[in-house]
C-alpha cells in the first residue's frame, strides 16, 4: 500500500499536466494565485513568457522548414527568390541532359578503372546465358613456353622460394620451427646431460 501511494505521488509530481481527479463532490479547492486577495503580479513575467513563446516558434520554424509558413491574413504575399524577374538564367534542358551524360560517362570510366585496378574482384553477372572461354587454354592456342625452359623456370622459382623461407626463418626466430613429421625430434644444446653447469638466476 505504501509503495502504491509513493508511486502515485511520484506520478503526480512528474506529470502535473494530468491534474487532480476526484469523485467526491464535497471536495473543492481554491487557486492561490487567482484569489481575490492575491497581490498583483508584474507584467514582466507575461512579457518574458511571450518572448519565450516567440523564440520557441522561431526555433521550430528554423529546425523544420518542411512545415512551411501558414498564414490566415489574405493581405500577406511573397515573391519566389528563384523565379523573380531579375533572377539569373537557370540551366536549360539541353545543358541538363549534357551534364547527365557527362556524369554517366564519368561513372562508367570510374567502374572501368576499378575493374582494372582490382582484378581480384572478378566479374559478376546474373544472366545465365552469358559465358566465356579462356583465351590461353583454347585448343588453337600456341605453345607459350618450351618444356626445357619451363622446367628451368620451375627450378629457379623453387630455389627462390627456399631462399625466401630461409630468410624469413632467419629474420623471425620467434616464429619457431613447425613440422608435421612425427619422427623428427631435436635436443637442446644448453640443457643436455653433458652441458656444463651454468649460473642460476
Note the pLDDT tens digit of each residue in 158-171: 999 999 999 998 99
Provide the grid cell at 53: 513563446
Say what the pTM is. Answer: 0.27
- Pseudo-torsion of CA 178, 179, 185, 187, nearest 10°? -20
Q: Are 10 and 4 in contact (CB under 8 A)?
A: no
The backbone region for 8, taken as left when phi is positive above 0, alpha when psi lies in -120 to 50, beta otherwise, is alpha
DSSP string for 70-98:
----TT-----STTSTTPPPPPPHHHHHH
The pLDDT of residue 186 is 78
Residue 34 has pLDDT above 80, yes or no: no
Q: What element of type H or E holds 46?
A: helix 43-63
Mean pLDDT check: name the lowest of 12-21, 160-169, 170-179, 192-201. 192-201
156 pLDDT band, cuts 50/70/90, is very high
50 pLDDT band, cuts 50/70/90, is very high
Give the C-alpha separation, 187 to 192, whole Å.
7
The residues, ordered by sequence, that sit 6+ positions from 67 with a Cβ below 8 Å of its Cβ are: 60, 61
Give the C-alpha separation, 103 to 92, whole Å.
17
Residue 153 has pLDDT above 70, yes or no: yes
Provide the grid cell at 133: 572461354
Give the C-alpha separation, 188 to 109, whole Å.
62
Percent of the chain's residues with pLDDT above 70: 98
Residue 62 has pLDDT above 80, yes or no: yes
Q: Higher pLDDT residue, 7 or 130?
A: 7
What sign does the CA torsion over 114, 118, 119, 120 have? negative
Provide the grid cell at 137: 587454354
Amino acid at each position: 500500500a505504501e509503495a502504491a501511494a509513493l508511486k502515485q505521488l511520484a506520478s503526480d509530481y512528474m506529470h502535473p499536466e494530468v491534474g487532480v481527479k476526484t469523485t467526491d463532490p464535497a471536495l473543492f479547492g481554491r487557486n492561490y494565485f487567482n484569489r481575490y486577495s492575491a497581490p498583483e503580479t508584474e507584467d514582466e513575467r507575461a512579457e518574458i513568457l511571450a518572448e519565450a513563446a516567440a523564440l520557441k516558434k522561431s526555433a521550430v520554424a528554423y529546425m523544420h522548414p518542411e512545415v512551411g509558413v501558414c498564414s490566415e491574413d489574405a493581405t500577406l504575399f511573397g515573391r519566389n527568390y528563384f523565379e523573380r524577374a531579375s533572377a539569373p538564367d537557370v540551366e536549360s534542358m539541353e545543358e541538363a541532359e549534357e551534364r547527365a551524360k557527362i556524369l554517366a560517362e564519368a561513372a562508367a570510366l570510374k567502374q572501368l578503372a576499378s575493374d582494372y585496378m582490382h582484378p581480384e574482384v572478378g566479374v559478376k553477372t546474373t544472366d545465365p546465358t552469358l559465358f566465356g572461354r579462356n583465351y590461353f587454354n583454347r585448343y588453337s592456342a600456341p605453345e607459350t613456353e618450351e618444356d626445357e625452359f619451363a622446367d628451368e623456370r620451375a627450378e629457379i622459382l623453387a630455389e627462390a622460394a627456399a631462399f625466401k623461407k630461409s630468410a624469413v626463418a632467419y629474420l623471425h626466430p620467434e616464429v619457431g620451427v613447425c613440422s608435421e613429421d612425427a619422427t623428427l625430434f631435436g635436443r637442446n644444446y644448453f640443457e643436455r646431460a653433458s652441458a656444463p653447469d651454468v649460473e642460476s638466476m
